Every structure is written in C-alpha cells, then in structure tokens.
Amino acid sequence: MQNKYILFFDEITMKDLPSVGGKNASLGEMINQLKQESINVPMGFALTAFSYWAFIEHNNLKNKIEFLLERRKNKKTSLKVTGKAIRKLILRGKFPKEIEDEIKKAYLKLSKIYNLKNVDVAIRSSATAEDLPTASFAGQLESFLNVKTFRNVLKKCIHCYASLFTDRAIIYREEKGFEHLKVALSVGIQKMIRSDLAGSGVIFTLDTESGFRNVIQITAAFGLGENVVQGIVNPDEYITFKPLLLDESKIPILQKKLGKKEKKMIYMPNGTRNILTTLKEKNSFVLTNEEILRLSRWALLIEKLYQKPMDIEWAKDGLSNQLFIVQARPETVQALKTKEHYSSYKIPCPGKIITTGLAIGEAISHAKAQIIKSIKDIDKFIDGSILVTTTTSPDWVPIMKKASGIITDLGGRTSHAAIVSRELSVPAIVGTSNATTKIKNGQKITISCAEGEEGRVYDGLIEFEKEEIDLKKLPKIKTEIMINIASPEGAFHWWHLPIKGIGLARMEFIINNIIKVHPMALFHFDKIKSAKTKQTISKLTKGYLDKKDYFIDNLSRSLAKIAASVYPNPTIVRLSDFKTNEYFNLIGGDEFEFKEENPMLGFRGASRYYNKRYIDGFKLECLAIKKARELLGLDNIVIMVPFCRTIQEADKVLKVLSDNSLKRGEKNLEIYVMAEIPSNIILAKEFSKRFDGFSIGSNDLTQLILGIDRDSKELSEIFDENNEAIKISIESLIKDAHAMNTKVGICGQAPSDKLDFAKFLVEKGIDTISLNPDSVIKVINYLSKIEKNS
C-alpha cells in the first residue's frame, strides 16, 4: 500500500476491504475492473482505517471510549448517555497534521481532476465490517452531500467518525456480534453528481420481495438520492428482464410504474434541502427507456463482477445528462435465503380493505395498530403492535424490531422501512400515502403481503393460513405441472415451485384491474358521447398521445412479466373471454356493448374477434401480444383461443390473428384452443389440424355437457366434473388429439380441488395439468403415489 492514510479509488480493489470498508472497496473494484465496459463511476478518495486509528490515538480516545462502554455494560449509564458522550469526545478531536495535509492534498487533486476550485463532494462512512454478505449496516452511519472546501471536508470526516457511535450503530454492532473497538471507519470522499438537476435512485439485481433472480428492479426520483433511500418519496419503479438485456434488438422492460415523487432534494450553499416537485415532474418518468436499459445492463455487469446479487445506487448528472453508479454493495436479505425452503401464506376469506401500498415480504400478520409519527414518541411503542408511521429512519430500528408489521405513508421498495423490514423478516406495506389518517390508533388490523405486489391492510384480525414448504423433499413426477396466473403482480411469488410453465394467464384480470377501459373506447375515443367517460379515460391515459398505446403498453408489459416468471417455459395466454355484461362494466363499455339475456352462451370468446362490434378492440390485444413476444422478447408466450364453437369460427379467428402478424408457426408462435364446448370434443381431430394444443376448461365443459348453469346454487350439488359424461368426453379428447400428435392440458379448477379427478387425468395420459399455485405441492405429493402404484 503506497499511502497508509489515503487511497484514491483507482488504487483500491476488494483486497483493501479491511482498510477502506465495503463502500470504498466496491467503488475501487468497479473503477478498476469495469473501465472497459464504459460504466461511469465518479472519482474520489478514501481515508483508510489507519487514518481512523491514528485519529483515535492522536486524541487519546481509546481508553475513554472503553471506559464509557464498560460503564454502560455494567448498567451504570444508559445507551443514550453513553453514545452522546463518545460522540462529543470524537467531535472535539482533530486530525494529526500529517493526515490533515494529506487530506488537503487529495482534495486539491480531486478538484483539479474535475477542473474546479473547490470540488463538490459526497462524504460517506464506510465501516470496515460494512457491506459484508451477512450485514448491511443499512443507514447506520452518516453521509453528507454537497460538501465544498477543504475545511468543511475535514469537519464532515470527523462527523462520520462520530456516527460510528450513534445509539443505533452501537446496538447494531452488538446484535451482529461486532466488537466496538475492532470496527474502524473509513471515509469516502467522492465527486458529487448533479442529480439535483436530474434524478437518482437504487437498483437491485433481483426481485426484492420474492428473491426471483431473473429481473432487475430500479427505483427513481428527481433530485439527490437521499429521498429514495430514506423513503421520503414514493419513487418510479421499473423492472427489466435479465436474460434478454444483452439482446440489442429487444426492449425487455417488464414494468414502468409512475411514482408520486412528492419532493426532490437540491443543492444549497454547502448543503442540501428539499423542495416540492412540480406537477410536470410528478407526472413524468425520471428515466427514458434507453436509460432504464443502460442502467440495467450496467447492473448485470456489476452482478457478474461480484458473482452475487447486488444493491446499487445510481445518479444522473443534470449538467452532462450522463448516468453514474455511485455505490454498490451485496444484497443481504434474499441472497442468503435458499430456494429450497419458503413459507406460503393465504387468507381464505379477505375482509374490508382500509388502505393499500407496496408489499414488502410475502407474509401476513395481524395485531393492534399503533400510530407513531415522531421519533420522540418511540418509547411509547407496545411490543407486538403494527407500527403505522409516515416514514422511518435508522433511529426507528429499535421499535421496528419489536413490531409484528410496519406500515408507512411514504417510501418505495428501496426505502429505509423496506430494507430494514426485509432484514428483520417483518411484513411491511410502504407508500400507502394515507395509512396514518385511514387507520385508527389501537384499531385491530391485518397486514397482508401475500397477494402480489400490492400490500393490503384489512380491518380486523382476519384468520390466515401459513404453510412451510421444503422443496427438497418434493417427489419427482412424470406429469408436467403448470400454474394458473391472473395477476402480473403475483407472478414472481411462485418461481420456487417445480413447474413447467403457466397453463393459463388470464387476460381479463389485466384488462379489468390494470387497464380498466373497454378496448373499443380506446380505439374509438373520438366516438365516445359521454363527457364524463372521456374525462375519466383522459385521466387514466395521461401521457399517451394515442389512447390505443395505453392499452398496448399495459397489456404487453403485464403479459411479459407473467411470462418472465417461467421463461423459457411456455406461458399460455388466453385471449379475452369477458361476457357482454362484464365488458359493459369497463369504462366506456356502456357505449359499445348491448344487453344479452344469457351472456354465458352469447357474444363471448372467439365469436367477438372477427365481428365488427369488437374486431378493432381485438386488434389491440394482438398488437399487445406481438409487442410482448417480439419487442419485449418474451417469445415463450403461447396464444389460446377461448370458446371457439365451430371449425369455421376457428378459421376466421386464425385469419384475423394472421392479419395482425400473429401467424401460427411463424417466429415459433404456437396457438392453442380451449376445449370447453362439446363440439371441441366431437371434432377434436379437425381442431387438431388448426391448433397446436388443447386446454380443457372443465367449468364450461361441465356446464355445457350437463346443461347446468355453473353459477346456480340450486343445482350446485350435481355440478360435478367427476360425472361419467365429462370423463368420457375428456378421455375421447386425449385419445383423438394424441392420434393427431396434438398436446392436451387442463387449466380448469377441477384438479386443484379434487385429487381423484387429477388421478383420472394422469391415468388417461394428459400432457399437462395447470393448477392454482397453492395446490401445486398437495397435487404433486398425491400424484407421486399414483404414479408409483400404476
């Protein structure tokens, strides 16, 4: 080591971690190893651990600190008194002249590198035990932004030293088993990026809630990054798909979610402050598609360098419009979990929803709510309560550990509340915007993070089920198991399961819950008569010059996200199968639908796709699927045609698909048909000539063979898929389809609920069984016994 007190980042590698800490070692490693990849990392220098120990020795602090810590250990003084006394000692200290001169020399050199008289720098603490795979030290130590002049740099470096003995840092070290006087502090002095004039945020190289490794998560807000890290704003969220990132012909952005971005942190003379964002900023994405992909590709390279999932901070310079990586550390929660074990939670009977936000974790908890808005009141917290607050900071950690759940008004997936709750394995819902006003102090509530990305707060103590699953003990079976998925938000939750794809992705859920607008109302927006409907649609489609693009973007990304969860295994997407009454209830639907006496047997499924009443709406479905497969790159999407009554209708639908550049066999496109009408069974060989596979819809098939309204309570006792007529039909379908080399699966409810029906399907040679996700383990265990005995 050339200089034991100060090292510039380009002199540092991960081998220097004991002397410069995780943050600085990582910055040096990236600068040295990723130069050829054109990843921008701001230059700076580090005060090594030698500088810290020299400072402690120069000011005769070691014995004094030991004495104060010993008094606390013997319960002669409190944590608060001890921490304050140690910090006061350190803040009175001064650097030895030799080190002070070297800091001055390094600061002037950095200023010269950036052609500035007094370069603006960020000063960050980097503990020598920090950012190890087993400890994150998230937010435990101090950082200072926009520091200028040599004297201010000296002052803030000493403040960093003092932060090693904040109350929260003392507790954290004790809990993690680090000895106080064996943990030194390195300080990183790094050129500030003018993200106050642009934006900044955080990147994780996995899904932070499920641990799914094939995606990259990016959060973004305007201004300096502190607001995102501390959870003071609800940021934009972007998700990209790793396996396709290096294919320049694809744009694998699976999600773009607009955040409220209420504030932004900007420069002040030798400091920072928060101001409100403008309406335009609130309604604009921080990053362009090109920037999202560039950051994602950088993150992929950084993860490859470290060979582990990473937690990365980025910033965009508003002067040069360049992107920069300003920090990188190992992800310390999901990376340490094994995919062989996980817990599955379920609420059989959900109740009244009070508020919603971003789900952190995948657990459920219930208890009394305790609203605490100020750090001054944390001593009042009752152990086991659900903490409800505006936002959290490191000072809140002592009570966060005692909470059975956490709910915040502000913050995103990379906020302090989110990071700490993951590490503590405490379910949290962040970014609700209104929890502290909607929830009453002492109210009994249930917090659910087990229903996808949206976390829900229910009124009352709702019963829930928890299942501990050990995937290593699951038997291997011959029958291929797939799952049925409706919501893209929940798709990543099930990546651990030993499945061969998605047997049914329901387009209706996406249209109803995410898009919300009738496709024809978007295609023919100018023909809508109701001013109120036009206003509602305009609000929903804000930012889209062409309303059709709103539908195409949202549907394509939602389908791609579902398909990404099982890639490269197939995802069978059923084209829209609303009935007229369900289409009518969509926004604008009343102007494009008509009343039917029996919608279940009326204008639904295949009959809509070539009919002038809906063909333009169907075109949007086709464009969305084409975009998901070809531009986003998820070509494992398989199309499935529902409720196709006749061979002639099949030909018409296939022609419309082909006219919209979705031709069977081109670009590896497969097209399936639902087997849910007796004609599909009777004419199975003819349908086989036109489709690559069948998927049995057991509900409709039972309804139409037995002549029973599946929703009839009076007839529910005789609505049974185990009826011989149903079984004979399915056996006939499998036999005829296999004779034509056509695959047969089932996506209906029956095998999820009735194990004996699943047994029948296996005995008749079905190719795949698609189940509700929470039935997979049960059915696999059952079928393994059947296969052994067959």
Q: Which residue has 């349908």 as its token pair?
A: 687
Is 524 annotated in the active site?
A: no
> Would you tell me how many other CB atoms lie within 10 Å of the CB of residue 654?
23
Residues whose CB is less than 8 angstroms from the CB of residue 714 and which lie 6 or more positions away in sequence, other chains included:
none
Rounded CA separation 15/781 (Å): 48
Q: Are 21 and 127 in contact (CB under 8 A)?
A: yes
Q: In 3-state terms, what secondary structure has residue 455?
A: strand
Structure tokens at 300: 């992929």
3-state secondary structure at position 181: helix
Altogether, the residues listed in the chain come to a count of 790
**CA 244 – CA 561 distance, rounded (Å):** 13
Tokens of 76: 């002669």
Tokens 């549907």 found at: 555
HSE-CB at 727 with a 13 A cutoff on CA atoms is 14
**Which pair of tokens denotes residue 152?**
């201010």
- CA atoms within 13 A of residue 471's CA, in its CB half-sphere: 14
Helices (H) and strands (E) in the chain, counts: 28, 30
Residue of 416, 493, 496, 518 with catalytic role: 416
Biggest alpha carbon–alpha carbon distance for the chain = 93
Indicate the angle between helix axes 755-763 and 724-739, nearest 10 degrees.
30
State the pairing for strand pair 6-8/480-485. Answer: unpaired
Structure tokens at 626: 């084409």
String of DSSP letters for 473-487: GPPP-SSEEEEEE--
- What residues contact 435, with CB distance under 8 A and at least 6 apart? 355, 357, 388, 407, 408, 409, 429, 457
List all residues 6 or more positions away from 223 whose beta carbon is below 8 Å from its beta carbon.
Answer: 195, 196, 199, 200, 263, 264, 265, 266, 274, 277
Question: Starting at the edge strand that comes first in sequence, how are the strands of the sheet with 253-257 ordered?
Answer: 253-257, 236-241, 215-222, 199-204, 310-316, 323-330
663 φ/ψ angles, rounded to the nearest 5 degrees: -95, 130
- The answer to whether 5 touches 157, Cβ cutoff 8 Å, is no
One-letter amino acid at 579 equals: K
Q: Do the beta carbons of residue 621 and residue 519 sit within 8 Å?
A: yes
Strands 768-771 and 743-746, by their bridges, are parallel
The SS3 assignment for 79 reads: helix
Q: Which two tokens stand for residue 153?
A: 């740099």
| CB contact burial 490-523 (16+ within 10 A = b; e otherwise) | bbbbbbbbebbbbbbbbbbebbbeebebbbbbbb
Residues pairing with 5 in the sheet? none
Rg (the chain; Cα; Å): 30
Whole-number Å distance between alpha carbons of 283 and 288: 14
Two tokens, residue 194:
């003018």
518 is catalytic: no
DSSP 391-429: ---GGGHHHHTT-SEEEESS--TTSHHHHHHHHHT--EE
Q: What is the dihedral of CA 771, 773, 776, 777, to 10 degrees?
A: -170
SS3 708: coil
Indicate which residues carry an active-site annotation. 416, 747
